[in-house]
A and B are shown apart, each in its own frame.
Chain A
């Protein structure tokens, strides 16, 4: 196959200097032009994230600090008529929340199961450009929690909201790929709204194979983001 490609390109294997230049390009992974829409001051960036999240049929609630999350979860479940029981990502930030104040909430920590009605996921980053969540897999953030439940709740901090996707890649490279031997996590999901299909007569219906509802609880931990 390589020989056939080289015949088409009318050359042999790349000469060393050209291969070096390509390796340098991979190492530098230069950014291509980035749309201007997310290059705005922090408070506007958070608003843009929220607007895009809502445009894509997800919901978002802001809370002043982490301590307010269990209360927000309990209220959301009650409002949606959902049972007070959650499959929760075993992430230290979620484990540290004051769940004891809400004894009626039942938590199961671990990966997603087919019987889960509601999952609670830890948000790694939010991308304002399109209201997208970046959810890289880890022992603390199992991918199945994004897929099997009917309703997914994601807890995200405003300090983790970036403008374009490229800034999310920068975070991931520095925090995950570099310490993990240059390898990306096994699975990185970018999630924009709840699952949907337009396969029946091109009409959009929410709730295909993944969650029917996506709810984001946003902890306002970034002073610069407060307008």
Chain B
């Protein structure tokens, strides 16, 4: 997928001015946190399980080479094939070759962020193979030729009117004046349309939420059942998985599954959690004749042993997006690549480079909410700070930002001057805000005040107040 993360500030400004997006966000934003909170409250062990989840993932990453090799051996034993792909080009080529060898004309697809990372749809289309997205949200995005805006709710940014309009435009064989009385009618139309596609497909491509070393299984988690139809009906099943999806055993996977659905949708368990191991057995009545796993690195191994290794614990639950004030204001598309929200701000620079995605780690209020809800305790704000430092070291921040920081450094090393200057500034700002206590607009701070007001200082700095209260014996 082509990245537009370099223009994050402009993307975000556009998103904030987009009335339809803001309407969609305002409606759906509060839903996820409320559902998660209820599910977490109903499981007293949830907090302890977060630590378990973190430990399982840390153990796996520390021995990732061993577990990948064990996994691959077990896949082959069950009659499957593993394709080791170090980058997106290799993975695209491997998928295309499997499809061509199978003589595939159409391919159904379950939801997969790796597939977005690879841009696999465009690649298949360019070679005369028709990919069909089958997750309801992904399906409408394919009709609209848009990328997903959320890692588990890809059509987060759309309103019901958008669905109806797209269906009318694309399903031209149906009566143009048909009425969609309720959301269910939209769902039913998609179900009927996609059922034909499921039955016709030669190859099914899914993602994987987990890979299990012990058994050589790939695991998908869905509510719709589209992933299961995708991996069960066609002759060939391809599972796309990045290397950090690995876990050692079924028991380890089970513990992470207890965290995943609760953190993601607030369900205790998703409707379908399915373990696939190898190809159809001799006496089976259904299932694919061939099973392939694409093991994708694409920049991940380079994060191991760095301050960003913890990011590889991520189980893609989207809790950090759902609780992020920045994501909730600018939406997923602003981030300009596959992953958005706090996890995107940390992962994207790691995968496509800080020169491409250096803006993203700045898209944070450092409120810490993301880390507090992350089911595998990833220190997201800390890692965003690490990226900012790296960006600064590499002189990728704009000259004004660097000059500003140099000025601050000069004052920071001279406490007397610092106090004098801040006292003057606080006094001036308090006068300027004319008792309203807020700035809706402030010279040189448009970037801040465009999306929110800046609270004005009360006319006193922390140091002055501390000194005053010290004297009064209150501190």
Contact = CB atoms under 8 A, between A and B. Distances in A.
Contacts of B274: 187-190
B199 interface: yes
Contacts of A144: 232-233, 285-286
Interface string A179-219: 00001111111111111111111110101111100000000
Contact of B252 (A19, A32, A189): A32
Give the top 8 A-B pairs by smallest Cβ distance, nearest first: A210-B225, A8-B304, A8-B305, A208-B224, A199-B137, A4-B301, A111-B285, A29-B249
B63 A22 contact: yes
B254 A165 contact: yes
B275 A32 contact: no
Interface stretch (A64-72, A78-86, A92-100, A130-138): A130-138
A88 B274 CA distance: 21
A200 B166 CA distance: 13
Contacts of A104: none
A123 to B, nearest CB: 15
Contact of A197 (B62, B136, B215): B136
Given A10-B305, A198-B223, A200-B163, A26 B70 contact: yes
B199 A114 contact: yes
B183 interface: yes
Contacts of B77: 183
B7 interface: no
B270 interface: yes
Interface in A126-156: 129-130, 132, 137-139, 142-144, 146-148
B301 A210 contact: no
Interface in B249-289: 249-252, 254-255, 257-258, 265, 267-281, 283-287
Contact of B191 (A32, A129, A146, A208): A208
Interface range on chain B (Cβ under 8 Å from partner): 35 or more
A147 to B, nearest CB: 5
B133 to A, nearest CB: 11
Contacts of B136: 197, 199-200, 208
A223 B437 CA distance: 72
B365 to A, nearest CB: 24
Contacts of B67: 22
Contact of A196 (B52, B64, B66, B223): B223
Contacts of A9: 62, 64-65, 304-305
A147 B228 contact: yes
B69 interface: yes
A201 B160 contact: yes
A205 B183 contact: yes
Interface string B138-169: 00100000000000011110111001000000
B474 interface: no
Interface residues of A, number: 74
A31 B251 contact: yes
Nearest to A109: B285
Which residue among A142, A147, A187, A191 has the maximum number of chain B CB atoms within 10 Å of its CB? A187
A191 B227 CA distance: 13
B269 A138 contact: no
A199 B285 contact: no
A198 to B, nearest CB: 7
Given A8-B301, A35-B45, A200-B163, A183 B78 contact: yes
Contact of A210 (B186, B215, B268, B272): B272
B278 A169 contact: no
Contacts of A194: 271
A14 B65 contact: yes
A5 interface: yes
B271 A191 contact: yes
B69 to A, nearest CB: 7
A192 B65 contact: no
A183 B301 contact: no
Contacts of A90: 285
Contact of B251 (A5, A8, A32): A32
Nearest to B296: A1
Contact of A202 (B27, B232, B270): B27
B328 to A, nearest CB: 13
B465 interface: no
Contacts of B258: 35
A210 to B, nearest CB: 3
A1 B86 contact: yes
A227 interface: no
A111 to B, nearest CB: 4
A161 B44 CA distance: 23
Contacts of A146: 228
A14 B43 contact: no
A111 B285 CA distance: 6
Interface string A32-63: 11011100000000000000100010000000
A102 interface: no
B184 interface: yes
Nearest to B309: A8
Contacts of B68: 1-2, 5
A187 B275 contact: yes
Nearest to A196: B223
Contact of A209 (B45, B191, B284, B286): B191
A149 B283 CA distance: 22
B14 interface: no
Interface in B97-139: 134-137
15 contacts: A2-B69, A4-B86, A8-B309, A9-B305, A13-B65, A22-B67, A22-B248, A35-B45, A110-B285, A130-B268, A137-B287, A143-B286, A148-B229, A201-B159, A210-B225
A200 B135 CA distance: 12
